[in-house]
Structure 1
Amino acid sequence: MSGAGLLQRPAALTTGRPKQNDMVRHLHRLASDPNSVLERQLSIAVVFALSLSVLALPFSRGASSAGVLVAAVLMAASTAAAFVLHRPAYHWRTAAIVPLVDILAVGFLRAATGGPSSVFGIMLVLPVISLGVEPGRLPLLFGGIVTVGAMMLPLAFNSAAFAGGQWIRVFFTPIMLGLTCVFVSVLTRRLRSRVRAVEQLRGDQEILLAAAQDHADASASASALLRESANQLSSIIDGVTEQAIIATDPAGRIEMFNSGAQKMLRVAAHDVIGRSIIDLDWAREPAQSGDQPRTPSTAGRFAALVAGVRPGRPQLGDHTYQANGRPPMQIQVAITARRDAAGDIDGFLFVGTDVTVDREAAKMKDEFVNLISHELRTPLSSILGYLELIADDDDNPLSDEQLKYLATVDRNANRLLRLVSDLLFTAQVESGRFHLQKESVDLQALVVAALETATPGATARNVALRMSVPPEAVDVWGDPGRLGQAVDNLISNAVKFTPAGGRVVVTLGTTDEPEPRALIGVTDTGMGIPPDEVDRLFSRFFRASTATANAVPGVGLGLTITKAIASAHGGEIRVASTVGEGTIFVLDLPRMAKAPIPVPAS
């Protein structure tokens, strides 16, 4: 049922029963409203007046004028009291005085017109019923006492009024009237409870109607806001024309295909909505090396495509796509899981970026660096060789000044050779041709050797070197040359970035949680690195702004090489820095991840 229908239905029910509601209000007023005593009294007064008019007829003789006069005065007094007591200013219990006085008035009329044989005795029923309507049990008690007194009034006019067995009426009539009063009181009490229940239900209905109206208004506002948000999001997504954004359900069926996807993949949205994303060529052929086994079913291929998606972390991968005779293009696709409010997967979001130009530029750069590095390495090797021959020529010894010049040339040639070697190494890492010669490596000896290597440079810059290593050996399984190169890079960087008078501390530690690890920390008191540049420290040729501002020498390859070495050993490198206070690098390596020892053949 709609919200409008829910709100309209009670109104229809209310307007369809006006007479019933009027009757309920009238009964409620008679049953519980103390102001209704006037209405009841007027009815009794009219009947009493009719009775008096009967006495004025010729055939009605023998009545006591004094008794009738007292009865009339009492009835007039009770009627006047009803006019006064029906006002809200008086307590509702005071209204019970009116029917009590009416009982006495009818009693005097009965006594004045024949006593027990008077036809007007039946009129006692009217004030008794009016008394039974009054709330509470106290009016019933007083009513019984007053009724017995009213039944005894004939003795005041005739001492022989109860001769011949008339005493039975004195007791029997009050009992019957009392039962009538109790019956009316019970019925009235039930009526009051039902009226209160109806009022409670009516109040609850009004509350529910108000709440339903509020909910309907809130729902309408939320729906309008949701539609506005959806339209805004749709316009934003369609406004992205340089990236393909594709949304699928959990099974891989396409639900949204933005204008950027249509432009990039040359496919209209209406042709792919509802189809599996596997039907797109780039989703079938990931650009990976080696032969990949193909899953025969579409569901299986889609499951393999999104197998690497993790909560909060997109899966990145390059894919090849060729559309309608166009040259192949490289698309980098980020796959993210969409989740509902309960945390369950509601679908997947694919964001594709054309990286063809970037990949071709990177490939050309790698090829250029590789070519130039090889071309430079060969003449540099020759230069260093001839420098060694000249320095060691005993037949033609050089002067001290010549040896000084030769040492300068040799130092710069070796520096250039190290730069060329770093370029070659980074090219090998990018191309996947990075190989290690692993063996057991004592990190304690490796750290000591690296510190000894860095000592001359630190002394020349007036930088203090400190070391803290455990007494026991810390062994890892790895390439000692590459690990030494990584530690040398970290220490040399720390020395270069620390001003004179500063300090560099190298620590070696271990941890067993969650698995055995070796930790090499290098802490300096240098110039620090801005927080927004920390994530780019390990990119090729990147140099921090503090390095360029303070003219620190370097080309931005050391940390790239160090991270590659750590990753190749199953480790990682972490960094924390504060500008103006210093930096700490931590090289985290697995301890003794040895290869299995081969068993000799029999």
Structure 2
Amino acid sequence: MTSTISASTGSFVDASSVPAGKTAPPVRLRRLRAFATGFARDQNSVLQRQLCVLVVYVASQLILLVPDVNITHGGLIGAGALVMVGATGTAYGLRKPRIPSRWAMVVPLLSIVSIGLLRAGTGGAFSVFTMMLVLPTVSLGVEPGRLPLLFGGLVMVPIMWLPILFDPTTFQDGQWTKVVFIPVMLGLTCLSVNELMTRLRARVRAVNALQRRQQDLLVDATANAARSEMATAAARESTSQLINVIDSVTEQAIIATDVTGAVEVFNSGAQKMLRIAAHDVLGRSILQFHLRDELDARMPEIADGATGSPFDALTGPVRKGVPAAADWTYRTADGKDLRVHLTVTSRSDASGRGDGFLFVATDVTEDREQSRVKDDFVNLISHELRTPLSSILGYLELLGDDEDNPLSPEQTQFLEVISRNANRLLRLVSDLLFTAQVEAGRFDLQGQSVDLRTVVTASWETAAPLAADRGLTLRMFTPEEPVMAWGDPIRLGQVVDNLISNAVKFTPAGGRIVLNLTTPDDETGRALICITDTGLGIPATELDRLFSRFFRASTATDNAVPGVGLGLNITKAIVTAHGGRITVASTVGQGTTFAVELPLGDQST
């Protein structure tokens, strides 16, 4: 910033504030401008109104130069001038913000007194200056509230009666009516102005309130627009990320359709699996990838035996709120058939209404082929082993029953070992065959009415000697009344046998096994068979795989407990076939509880 010294005053002038090409104004002129600016700064506008009254007052003094103007008391005129100067000075002082606005009424009251003194000194009721009272009266009416009107009346009446103090004959010949009429008219004028200003202020306040409200709404709208823009940007980014995530899935086909089955999303995994580009699929039906015979075979009944559309075969369960996950056949663009595991879920819009479906398919062609080959192999081997094993056991029984050629004690012992291992192998072959039947859907039950107490009691009696030999405590609790259910007693016995056998195998000596059969209070409930042991337990991370074929818990392998991992798989298959449910809870080192729920009553129909 550059500053120079004024030659006339010796004061500093800020050259940087002067526009280019112009010289700085003189210091006196700038001071006068600053004074005028400060003079005009008035929060109540009383100074501006007083200036108007002052200008008229000063101009009216010229009338005193007219020869015919009656000057009765020069002292009153001088006093009035002094009061007018005081009123103007007061107005200048009241412009400061720290002065209460109520004091502004003093200025027009002093102006009324000033003009009243001028009126009394120039003929009283006959003075030509009487009409000048209108100006301060109007200025007084501008002040807010009714209090200025009261003070105005208290001042106006004495001022109007002031001339009588100097000349009692002033109000003779009917001139007294002016003393009454003029204050009344001036009061009504002041009241009218005050009422108009009150309404104007109310409207100004309303306008200001509306402006503030508009400003608040504008701020809110700006903030909402900013938030909306941020939300839109976030939504775009989220959508972009979602598309990138979906496209990054290359081993699963992800296809999204509308409610009619028209394709809307076709990810890179779908393009890879079905060997077709997305732009050739969008807008077309997803049914083009399915076999019509397979769709027709699975078309659901909708009402009175009628069937739905082919698309309902895919989405029917989902529309009813049931998860849909099953194997289907996809036909690729080059005519190759793929076996896929297809999961179908519903899609919803922002309001929660369904607007389409999502199909996630995984190619399981090789897995299903390997599983089929394995099942065929197991089935074949099981059949091939069952016949010679049955023959071996038959001849072993003949050797033991030959009275003509009795066996020695040592031979009998050898024969029992052979027979025991042959029976063990036969049971394994039977389990393999049963598992193959379950996988092939050829699992049949010989249903009849059965008392579950008889089933669990038989299993308990079979396991009791072995539990005693291993130093285990075996307890059983059953209701006194029959617990009737519909099922295959042999298969149900196999369930309880497997669970108790596992408990005995996995419980160290000194442990305890409890078999508990309970029923609910109502007759339409389900029976509950619980087998609880204090054995090795099963890790929580392995519980979800416990019922898989050939799976064995790590606690079983670590402790070299014999088994092949088919028992629990078979147990779950039997329970499920009876309309029941099996659950497990276990803690490593503390024990395991298996719970089997079976429906009560006659389920044959």
Displacement, 1:471?
0.4
The CA distance in 2 between the partners of 1:190 and 1:85, in whole Å, is: 24
Single out whichever of 443-452 and 572-581 deviates more from structure 2.
Answer: 572-581
Displacement, 1:357?
0.4
Counterparts in 2 of 1:349-428, with a 5 A limit?
Answer: 349-428=358-437
- The question of 1:344 aligning with 2:368 is answered no
The CA distance in 2 between the partners of 1:225 and 1:558, in whole Å, is: 53
Aligned match of 1:27: none
Displacement, 1:53?
2.5
Displacement, 1:63?
4.2
Matched AA of 2:130: G
Does the CA-based 8 Å contact 1:67-1:109 persist in structure 2? yes
- The question of 1:491 aligning with 2:500 is answered yes
Single out whichever of 387-396 and 581-590 deviates more from structure 2.
Answer: 387-396
The CA distance in 1 between the partners of 2:74 and 2:391, in whole Å, is: 158
- The question of 1:454 aligning with 2:463 is answered yes
Please, which runs of 5 or more residues in structure 2 have no aligned partner? 1-41
Displacement, 1:285?
4.4
Aligned match of 1:307: 316
The CA distance in 2 between the partners of 1:73 and 1:343, in whole Å, is: 83
The CA distance in 2 between the partners of 1:177 and 1:226, in whole Å, is: 71
Single out whichever of 344-353 and 121-130 deviates more from structure 2.
Answer: 344-353
The CA distance in 2 between the partners of 1:438 and 1:536, in whole Å, is: 29
Displacement, 1:508?
0.8
Does the CA-based 8 Å contact 1:287-1:320 persist in structure 2? no
Does the CA-based 8 Å contact 2:80-2:114 persist in structure 1? yes
Matched AA of 1:337: S
Structure 1 residues 513 and 63: alpha-carbon distance in aligned structure 2, compared to 1, 3 A threshold: farther
Does the CA-based 8 Å contact 1:112-1:157 persist in structure 2? no
TM-score under structure 1 length normalisation: 0.89
Aligned match of 1:272: 281
Structure 1 residues 512 and 361: alpha-carbon distance in aligned structure 2, compared to 1, 3 A threshold: farther
Does the CA-based 8 Å contact 2:474-2:514 persist in structure 1? yes
State, as a whole percentage, how many aligned pairs show the same letter: 58
Does the CA-based 8 Å contact 2:449-2:487 persist in structure 1? yes
Displacement, 1:437?
1.2
The 3-state SS of whatever aligns with 1:50 is helix
Query: Alignment partner for residue 294 of structure 2, among 262, 286, 296?
Result: 286
Counterparts in 2 of 1:147-296, with a 5 A limit?
Answer: 147-282=156-291, 284-286=292-294
The 3-state SS of whatever aligns with 2:550 is coil
Matched AA of 2:587: T
Displacement, 1:57?
4.1
Does the CA-based 8 Å contact 1:104-1:150 persist in structure 2? yes
Structure 1 residues 106 and 259: alpha-carbon distance in aligned structure 2, compared to 1, 3 A threshold: same
Aligned match of 1:28: none
Aligned match of 2:97: 88
Aligned match of 1:464: 473
TM-score under structure 2 length normalisation: 0.89
Query: Alignment partner for residue 341 of structure 2, among 332, 357, 364?
Result: 332
The 3-state SS of whatever aligns with 1:538 is coil
The 3-state SS of whatever aligns with 1:567 is helix
Does the CA-based 8 Å contact 1:566-1:573 persist in structure 2? yes
Displacement, 1:153?
1.3
User: Deviations along 1:537-588, whole A, 9 cap, x unmatched?
Assistant: 1110011111111211111100111111111111121111122221111111
Does the CA-based 8 Å contact 1:252-1:277 persist in structure 2? yes
Matched AA of 1:257: F
- The question of 1:542 aligning with 2:555 is answered no
The CA distance in 1 between the partners of 2:473 and 2:598, in whole Å, is: 26
Structure 1 residues 564 and 396: alpha-carbon distance in aligned structure 2, compared to 1, 3 A threshold: same
Structure 1 residues 122 and 298: alpha-carbon distance in aligned structure 2, compared to 1, 3 A threshold: farther
Aligned match of 2:107: 98
Aligned match of 1:132: 141
Aligned match of 1:65: 74
The CA distance in 2 between the partners of 1:51 and 1:260, in whole Å, is: 100
The CA distance in 1 between the partners of 2:121 and 2:326, in whole Å, is: 116
Aligned match of 1:509: 518
Query: Alignment partner for residue 332 of structure 2, among 317, 323, 326?
Result: 323
Please, which runs of 5 or more residues in structure 1 have no aligned partner? 1-32, 597-602
Aligned match of 2:22: none
Displacement, 1:156?
2.4
Aligned match of 2:85: 76
The CA distance in 2 between the partners of 1:60 and 1:223, in whole Å, is: 83
Aligned match of 1:439: 448
Structure 1 residues 380 and 298: alpha-carbon distance in aligned structure 2, compared to 1, 3 A threshold: closer
Matched AA of 2:574: I
The 3-state SS of whatever aligns with 1:520 is strand
The 3-state SS of whatever aligns with 1:477 is strand
Query: Alignment partner for residue 573 of structure 1, among 582, 588, 591?
Result: 582
Structure 1 residues 458 and 139: alpha-carbon distance in aligned structure 2, compared to 1, 3 A threshold: same
The CA distance in 2 between the partners of 1:259 and 1:411, in whole Å, is: 58
The 3-state SS of whatever aligns with 1:306 is helix
The 3-state SS of whatever aligns with 1:441 is strand
Query: Alignment partner for residue 566 of structure 2, among 557, 560, 578?
Result: 557
Aligned match of 2:38: none
Does the CA-based 8 Å contact 1:476-1:592 persist in structure 2? yes
Q: How many residues align?
A: 562
Matched AA of 2:518: G
Displacement, 1:343?
3.5
Displacement, 1:368?
0.2
The 3-state SS of whatever aligns with 1:128 is helix
- The question of 1:111 aligning with 2:111 is answered no
Matched AA of 2:419: D
Matched AA of 1:87: K
Matched AA of 1:521: C
The CA distance in 1 between the partners of 2:460 and 2:390, in whole Å, is: 28
Does the CA-based 8 Å contact 2:300-2:313 persist in structure 1? no
User: Deviations along 1:240-274, whole A, 9 cap, x unmatched?
Assistant: 11111001122222111111111111222122212
Displacement, 1:310?
6.8
What is the RMSD of the two structures over their aligned residues, measured on CA atoms? 2.2
Displacement, 1:323?
3.0
Structure 1 residues 432 and 183: alpha-carbon distance in aligned structure 2, compared to 1, 3 A threshold: same
Does the CA-based 8 Å contact 1:132-1:182 persist in structure 2? yes
Displacement, 1:342?
4.1
Structure 1 residues 287 and 253: alpha-carbon distance in aligned structure 2, compared to 1, 3 A threshold: closer
Does the CA-based 8 Å contact 2:299-2:309 persist in structure 1? no
Displacement, 1:531?
1.6
Does the CA-based 8 Å contact 1:287-1:319 persist in structure 2? no
Displacement, 1:511?
2.2
Structure 1 residues 445 and 92: alpha-carbon distance in aligned structure 2, compared to 1, 3 A threshold: same
Matched AA of 1:526: G
Displacement, 1:298?
12
Displacement, 1:513?
6.0
The CA distance in 1 between the partners of 2:50 and 2:209, in whole Å, is: 30
The CA distance in 2 between the partners of 1:46 and 1:432, in whole Å, is: 115
Aligned match of 2:46: 37
Aligned match of 1:25: none
Displacement, 1:59?
4.8
Single out whichever of 336-345 and 180-189 deviates more from structure 2.
Answer: 336-345
Query: Alignment partner for residue 529 of structure 1, among 538, 545, 548?
Result: 538
The 3-state SS of whatever aligns with 2:216 is helix
The CA distance in 2 between the partners of 1:248 and 1:291, in whole Å, is: 20
Structure 1 residues 571 and 168: alpha-carbon distance in aligned structure 2, compared to 1, 3 A threshold: same
Displacement, 1:512?
5.6
